[in-house]
Structure 1
């Protein structure tokens, strides 16, 4: 978990991408991964201060989003992290 709090945005995306890839290898569906990303987003926004400007922007978007928008944001983050 602490690796995901990395202060370097590219490193953070790479770590998140590895977690998504690992979940896919375990047979976890995209819907389940997105649900977990949504739950993680809630926890991070509430408990963890952003480590860089990009994380701060995501946190601020998260805070103004409603539940459906947060699901979209979580989906976008998992897709962004999965890009090679």
Structure 2
């Protein structure tokens, strides 16, 4: 089973990776750039498995590059501040 099969699993997975990156001293801007690259990959290569992923893909596809960077940053903030 993939972490992409369940949105809660995906959020938990992303929160753990963001926490690890912060622990090793990765700057937020670098995390956002990595999140942007992952967002592009997911949008282009992975079929959404649930409603939440479908919505994120549609928003990603509709956005400009600047808006996509903002979404990547917002996802990082979301998983950092959300109680799992």
The TM-score normalised by the length of structure 1 is 0.91
- Equivalent position of 2:6 in the other structure: 8
Note the aligned Cα RMSD (angstroms): 1.3
Which structure 2 segments of 5+ residues have no match? none
Among 40, 43, 46, the residue aligned to 1:42 = 40
Among 62, 76, 79, the residue aligned to 2:77 = 79
Which structure 1 segments of 5+ residues have no match? none
Among 26, 29, 38, the residue aligned to 1:28 = 26
Per-residue CA deviations over 1:2-49 (Å, capped at 9, x if unaligned) read 8442x2211110110000000101110000000100011001100001
Instruction: Count residues with an aligned counterpart.
Output: 82
SS of residue in 2 equivalent to 1:57: helix
The TM-score normalised by the length of structure 2 is 0.91
